Amino acid sequence: MLDYRTTLRSLTSIMSVSGCEREAAREVTALYGKYFDSVTIDAARNIILEKKSKKKNAEKILLDAHFDQIGMIVTGITSEGLLTVTNVGGIDRVILPSCEVSVYGREKLFGVIAATPPHLQKPGDTAAPEWTDIRVDIGYTKAEAEKLVPIGSPVAWEYDGDDLMNGRFTGVGFDDKACAAGLITAVVNTPAEELAYDVYVTLSSGEEIGGGGATNAAFKINPYFAIVTDVNFAKTPGVEDDESGVMGNGVMVSLSAVTDRKLTKKILALADENGIKYSTVIEATNTGTNANCLVYANEGVPAAVVSLPLAGMHSYSEMIEESDAEQFVGIFKKIITTEM
C-alpha cells in the first residue's frame, strides 16, 4: 500500500521544470513503474501510467495531473560568475530575492538569488526586480561557472518542505504533484479486480507554459471520459471567497461551461453517497486547467475537474492539508471502481 504523504515527497524530490519532463520520467518509472502494467513516455513528454482492469472489454479512462512545475532557465553568465535567468511559467518576481535555488547544470549546484539590502535601496525602488536584473549566485568565477552551467540549464527552488500543525504541510511543486500523488496512491492501492476501467494516469507535460501535453495523451488513449486534476486557490488573505476553497473542507469540483455536466453530476453524487467532503467552485468559461483543451481532443472527451485547495500557489512554499488529500484519494478510489 502506498502512503500519500510519502508519495508526494518522493514526487516533489524530482525536478520537473517545464521542458524537463522526459528526464523526470526516468525517476517516476523507477519509483512507480512496478505498480502499473505499462509506463509510456510519449513524444510530447507525457508520462502515462496504465493499470488494466480484470473486467473484459473495459472502457479506458484518463486521469490527468500535470507533472511540470514552474521554474527558471539560465540565459547567461556575468563577468562576476553570476547567472542571469528568466522565468519558465508564472513566477512572482517579488518573492525571488534571497531565495535558495538548485541549478541543474552538468551537476546539481546550490545557488541564492542575489538581493539588494534594504539599507541600500533607493526611494521608488520596486519590490519586484526585472528579470534582466535578477542574478543567481552559485559562488563560482565566470570561468568556473561556464564549465559547470550550460546556457539553458533549468533552475528550481530548493526546499524539502516541512510538516506543520493540524495535518498541514508545505513543499515545492505541489502544483500539481499534490494531485499526481493522489492519483497514483488511489490507483495503486486499488486491486485490478476492483477496477471498472482500464485506468491511464497521465502525468502531463507543459501545463505551466500553456498546456497541450494532455491533449496529445487523449489522442493516444481515446478515453471514455477524463478527469483533470489540479490545485485550486485555498482561502487565504487576499483571495475572495467565490474564488477559493477552505482547507479542510475536502476537494473542489469545478462547475463550468467547459466541463461535462453529466460526468460532473455523477462525481458529486458519488461524493454524497460515500460521505466524501467537497465544495464546488464556479469557473464559468475557463477552468485554468488542462480540461480547457482536453475536451476538444480527438472527437471530443467528456471531462470533469477535481481540485485540491492549495495555499501559496506558485511560490517556494506551497501548502495543503492532509485531510483534503485523503478526500481526494477517496473520491478517485470510488470513481475508478464505479461504472459511471
Hey, what amino acid is at 30? A
> What predicted TM-score, i.e. pTM, was given to this entire model?
0.96
- Surface-to-core class of residue 190, CB atoms within 10 Å of its CB (0-12 exposed, 13-18 middle, 19+ buried): buried
* φ/ψ (deg, to 5) at 58: -65, 140
DSSP state of 297: S
Nearest alpha-carbon partner for 24 in 41, 5, 44, 43:
41
pLDDT in tens, the chain (340 residues): 999 999 999 999 999 999 999 999 999 999 999 999 999 999 999 999 999 999 999 999 999 999 999 999 999 999 999 999 999 999 999 999 999 999 999 999 999 999 777 777 777 666 788 899 999 999 999 999 999 999 999 999 989 999 999 999 999 999 999 999 999 999 999 999 999 999 999 999 999 999 889 999 999 999 999 999 999 999 999 888 888 899 999 999 999 999 999 999 999 999 999 999 999 999 999 999 999 999 999 899 999 999 999 999 999 999 999 999 999 999 999 999 999 8
Q: Dump strand ranges (E) for the chain.
A: 38-41, 47-51, 60-66, 71-77, 83-88, 100-104, 108-113, 135-137, 154-157, 162-163, 168-171, 198-204, 225-233, 251-255, 278-282, 303-310, 318-321
